[in-house]
Amino acid sequence: MKALGLIIVALVGAILVYATIDFPPFGDPESPASLHVSPRYLEKTLEETAVPNAVTSVLADYRSFDTMFETTVIFCAGVACFLLLRVPRRRPPAPRQFRHRLTGLTFRIKDGGEFVLPVREFEPVDSIWTPYDLIIETICRYLIPFIQIFGLYVIAHGHYSPGGGFQGGVILGASIILLSVSHNLRTALKRMGEKTSALFSPLGVLIYTGTGVLCLVLGYNFLDYQALAALLPGGPIMARSHGIFLVEVGVGMAVMGTMVWIFKNLASRGRYDEGL
């Protein structure tokens, strides 16, 4: 079976390499993409979409179908990780290892032991954990809100500068992962639980595809944002700009939710009891 798979991969790879013979030379200024496609987008993007950043207009408007399926692939990756790793449990196990907040002293309760601890003086920690560092924990706690604000800025300002849904979603997802690494998985789950992160992924895809369906309902082609002019002020050109922003928000939500979803399953081996 492995030999058959290797043969199939080798044949497909050989076909793909053979197909590159018909490609224009790398960096050829006389290629069709350089003569027709790129100048068309660079010259018309501001006029047709009111978006100065040509990269954003190309990704979210001119080739919006491709970007929609890229977002769907990201969502499918999160679902696949969940199905492969998630270990269902009716109740999460009670923490067995604790740290004294003032002294940093840690101790573990043996299985079957009973304990009553003052919540303000002790906090639960993972059995496999990074040694507590007050400086790292404090800096990350104050830094994470600014990272999240910057992620929202990248999504909202992707029309005018480098950024967009993919980049902003990665920044937002990284902020939750940083919280989990600097504190523990339990703390990150309190801020963004499993159901919340799992909901963000399909909701982002739904916003993207829902915008396209709305265009169909209004009598235009799928993802033809000019249709939104009937609902939003500013005319057809500004409607395309608003449509790009809507799908960028959807992409950002899907990317953030999937990143956090995958990380939590990988870090806890699908058990959601203890992280890294």
Residue whose token pair is 């159901």: 195
**What is the number of other CB atoms lying within 10 angstroms of the CB of residue 168?**
27
Residue 10 lies in a domain: no
25-35 pLDDT per residue, tens: 877 777 877 77
Residue 37 lies in a domain: no
Residue 273 lies in a domain: no
Token pair for 46 = 């501001």
Query: How far is the C-alpha of 207 from the C-alpha of 247, rounded, in Å?
Result: 7
Residue 47 lies in a domain: no
Q: How many domains does the structure of the chain reveal? A: 1
pLDDT at position 116: 62
159-168 pLDDT per residue, tens: 888 888 999 9
Residue 130 lies in a domain: yes
Q: Give the confidence band of 114 by pLDDT, cuts at 50, 70, 90.
A: low
40-95 pLDDT per residue, tens: 888 888 898 989 988 899 999 998 999 999 999 999 999 998 888 888 776 655 66
Q: First vs last Cα of the chain: how many Å apart?
A: 36
- 15-19, 74-78, 155-159, 181-185: the lowest-pLDDT one: 181-185
**What is the number of other CB atoms lying within 10 angstroms of the CB of residue 274?**
22
pLDDT at position 94: 61
Query: How far is the C-alpha of 176 from the C-alpha of 63, rounded, in Å?
Result: 30
Task: Decide: 28 and 37 in contact? Cβ < 8 Å.
Answer: no
Residue 39 lies in a domain: no
CB < 8 Å & 24+ apart, contacts of 186-194: 186/95, 186/124, 186/126, 186/274, 186/275, 188/260, 188/264, 188/275, 189/264, 189/272, 192/260, 194/261, 194/264, 194/272
Query: How far is the C-alpha of 84 from the C-alpha of 270, rounded, in Å?
Result: 8
Side chain identity, residue 195: K
202-230 pLDDT per residue, tens: 999 999 999 999 999 999 999 999 999 98
Query: How far is the C-alpha of 176 from the C-alpha of 196, rounded, in Å?
Result: 12
Q: Which domain holds residue 230?
A: 55-267
258-271 pLDDT per residue, tens: 999 999 888 888 78
123-169 pLDDT per residue, tens: 777 666 556 677 888 899 999 999 999 999 999 998 888 888 999 99
Q: Give the confidence band of 276 by pLDDT, cuts at 50, 70, 90.
A: low
